[in-house]
A and B are shown apart, each in its own frame.
Chain A
């Protein structure tokens, strides 16, 4: 039976290859456990709309790190897929090395691009050197998760915290109530710099100056950010959990508040079902001029051959369109960046899933997940992670200013001398 089906498959491939107009494009994406269902559905609908294009899925990347690594290697051997989905902070390295193609040419030919839901804040996430190189596919934002049982038992009657001061207040109320739980966990360890960027963006404080050759976060806003982090660790007695432990313990009802990415919502909702009432709230202390860094990934064009690129563009556009984005929202915890998806396709969906809407309400705050420039870009994220870690272990929790100063010096050394 198996043999026969193989023969059948070969015959079918031969047949499709023989058809004159058929073209096959290759696509590769990260995190099969999150997106396998999503892409299956997108491809099924895409095939109906474009029967002349066959989409071949390569084995998914294990992670964002794996994704950029694979493309960088394939760029040497010239075996890249036509479309690759890359972590938002991993796009820059592919643009700087000239591997990802600009999408400006395709966008110029589209007539109703803006009306189709591709708004500026969304495109900005994939814009480098003034040119769009990536189109966000799924985005996430940091939000607050609350175990309402713990909050109520602690006797907290006020609305959920809107500032970090209130978070600390709630921490202390929970601690005093004598419940056997950790009061709070703050996701500093998501890549080690995402929450650092979140604190800075909430004050509209960019990582580097305009020329991208000088550290900017060693200013007063940066000091506020590092001090706030140290205060949260200290006053809330925040445990030093790794990613798995933190999510596991919160889902098990052992942590009161949990600040994390919206992308985990589906998972936490499932795992905590029946154990406690889960509620999400906006990320605290975001100023009116401030924002929050977007997580998630974007589709990038690697194909150079015009014919393949044209077909690949059709797929990329479909996947990120209102319809494609709606599939993302329905099958994952991520939000679709596309405006049309949220306003038209998903109206009823959010009425039924208010926890998911928390992040959608934050969409106007969308800021880039900044990728540091140059060859040391990824190494810099490690410097930030190490600095944050020295606070969370309690080693240097009493000297946030000094930690910031040293971190700034080290990052400065690794930045390019001239702006690119």
Chain B
């Protein structure tokens, strides 16, 4: 029973006042107890974001002892910067290829593994291996595999008559090669999530569908499995999107954003501007844009995905 109701119910005012005081004390204690956590949250999470935001309106560069406010000049420069637009486009292309690629293949792998009766855990472990290995180390392996002269990829493709290339050094193939590595890496993770989703689908629904005349496995997939997997799929899509937006390690190890900015992505540009060119304010402005993208994704998740997707 809340205080408000208590007063309406005709209890004595003095009792109500005491109860108000008790509630205030209760709130005060609650605030005090959560104060350290809130302070830390401001210090560690919100503080840096605000600092970055403020920095993007200055001309400060690393090592400077003072700075000037320049309003929107940094953003103005960003809009006119070809590399920035290329980075945005590349990031979107990358995300656009990696999300469907890793979801379709991850789901396919999950369904195939579910369908076999022998060696299920073996296949699961095999597909999950790339997730457990460090991507940087694996990137070095990929560098060898993609080498024009002795790389496995070139040799296998050469067998089919495709001309060998320095895949990571050609502007046309560098970004697709990075997408391929990302899909290879994300596949196992998505597969595990899908397998968890698959096991939560009640068997009876499949049986019921069969009784109702759904004969082919394909129809059963579209009518039963896929609709019930939508929450998992959306979750996987969002996670993959956020991870793809943050792509950095493979770019750093394999291409450094080259050739000719063909693999320049947003996070790598932030790194390059901030830590190679020491243009801290420009890097901050790029970070603000990056945070904007992540924020939009989060909003999308909260307002669209979580409302539209029917959970059981």
A residues neighboring B (CB under 8 Å): 65, 68-69, 71-73, 75-76, 93-94, 97-99, 239-242, 375-376, 378-379, 382, 386, 389-390, 393, 395
- Tell me the B261-281 residues at the A interface (CB within 8 Å): 261, 272-273, 275-279
With A73-B62, A97-B64 as contacts: A393 and B278 at CB distance below 8 Å: no
Q: Which one of B113-121, B131-139, B164-172 contacts A? A: B164-172
Pair A75/B279 contact, Cβ less than 8 Å? no
Q: List chain B residues, Cβ under 8 A from A239.
A: 166
Pair A69/B259 contact, Cβ less than 8 Å? no
With A382-B272, A386-B260, A386-B261 as contacts: A99 and B279 at CB distance below 8 Å: no
Pair A395/B260 contact, Cβ less than 8 Å? yes
Pair B258/A97 contact, Cβ less than 8 Å? no
Pair A76/B261 contact, Cβ less than 8 Å? no
Pair B166/A69 contact, Cβ less than 8 Å? no
**B147 to chain A: closest residue by CB:** A245
Pair A76/B63 contact, Cβ less than 8 Å? yes
B65 interface residue (CB < 8 Å to A): yes
**B254 to chain A: closest residue by CB:** A242
Using A386-B261, A389-B259 as known contacts, list a sample of 9 further A-B pairs with CB atoms less than 8 Å apart, ordered by residue number in A: A69-B275, A73-B62, A98-B65, A239-B166, A240-B259, A375-B279, A393-B169, A393-B170, A395-B260
B225 interface residue (CB < 8 Å to A): no
B61 interface residue (CB < 8 Å to A): yes
B249 interface residue (CB < 8 Å to A): no
- Tell me the B13-64 residues at the A interface (CB within 8 Å): 59, 61-64
Within the complex, the shortest CB–CB distance from A249 to chain B, in Å, comes to 8
Within the complex, the shortest CB–CB distance from A41 to chain B, in Å, comes to 32
Pick from B59, B64, B273, B275: contact of A379, CB under 8 Å: B273
- Name, among B59, B63, B171, B260, the residue most crowded by chain A CB atoms within 10 Å (CB to CB): B63
Report 29 cross-chain contacts, Cβ distance below 8 Å, ordered by A residue.
A65-B276, A68-B278, A69-B278, A72-B62, A72-B63, A72-B278, A73-B62, A75-B63, A76-B63, A93-B63, A94-B63, A97-B64, A98-B65, A239-B166, A240-B166, A376-B277, A378-B276, A378-B277, A378-B278, A379-B273, A379-B279, A382-B272, A382-B276, A382-B277, A386-B260, A389-B259, A393-B171, A395-B171, A395-B260
Q: Give the interface size class of chain B.
A: 20 to 34
Q: List chain A residues, Cβ under 8 A from B261.
A: 386
Q: Is the interface of B mostly helix, strand, loop or mixed?
A: loop
Q: List chain A residues, Cβ under 8 A from B279.
A: 375-376, 379
Q: List chain A residues, Cβ under 8 A from B166.
A: 239-241
Q: List chain B residues, Cβ under 8 A from A242.
A: 169
**A76 to chain B: closest residue by CB:** B63
- Please, how many angstroms separate the alpha-carbon atoms of A65 and B252 in the complex? 15
- Please, how many angstroms separate the alpha-carbon atoms of A376 and B171 in the complex? 26
Q: List chain A residues, Cβ under 8 A from B258.
A: 389
Within the complex, the shortest CB–CB distance from B155 to chain A, in Å, comes to 17
Within the complex, the shortest CB–CB distance from B139 to chain A, in Å, comes to 14
Q: List chain A residues, Cβ under 8 A from B259.
A: 240, 389, 393
- Please, how many angstroms separate the alpha-carbon atoms of A71 and B147 in the complex? 37
**B82 to chain A: closest residue by CB:** A410
Encode B73-90 as 1/0 by CB contact (under 8 A) with A: 000000000000000000
With A98-B65, A240-B166, A395-B171 as contacts: A390 and B260 at CB distance below 8 Å: yes
Q: List chain A residues, Cβ under 8 A from B260.
A: 386, 389-390, 393, 395
Q: List chain A residues, Cβ under 8 A from B65.
A: 97-98
Q: List chain A residues, Cβ under 8 A from B63.
A: 71-73, 75-76, 93-94, 97, 99
Pair A69/B62 contact, Cβ less than 8 Å? yes
Within the complex, the shortest CB–CB distance from B225 to chain A, in Å, comes to 46
**B255 to chain A: closest residue by CB:** A242
Q: List chain B residues, Cβ under 8 A from A73.
A: 62-63
- Please, how many angstroms separate the alpha-carbon atoms of A395 and B171 in the complex? 9
Within the complex, the shortest CB–CB distance from B223 to chain A, in Å, comes to 50
Q: List chain B residues, Cβ under 8 A from A393.
A: 169-171, 259-260
Q: List chain B residues, Cβ under 8 A from A241.
A: 166, 169
A-B pairs, 4 with minimum CB distance? A72-B63, A378-B277, A379-B277, A72-B62
- Please, how many angstroms separate the alpha-carbon atoms of A72 and B279 in the complex? 12
Q: List chain B residues, Cβ under 8 A from A379.
A: 273, 277, 279
Within the complex, the shortest CB–CB distance from A238 to chain B, in Å, comes to 12
Q: List chain B residues, Cβ under 8 A from A99.
A: 63
- Please, how many angstroms separate the alpha-carbon atoms of A225 and B172 in the complex? 27
- Tell me the B229-285 residues at the A interface (CB within 8 Å): 258-261, 272-273, 275-279
Encode B287-305 as 1/0 by CB contact (under 8 A) with A: 0000000000000000000
- Name, among B170, B171, B260, the residue most crowded by chain A CB atoms within 10 Å (CB to CB): B260
Pair A93/B278 contact, Cβ less than 8 Å? yes
Q: List chain B residues, Cβ under 8 A from A98.
A: 65
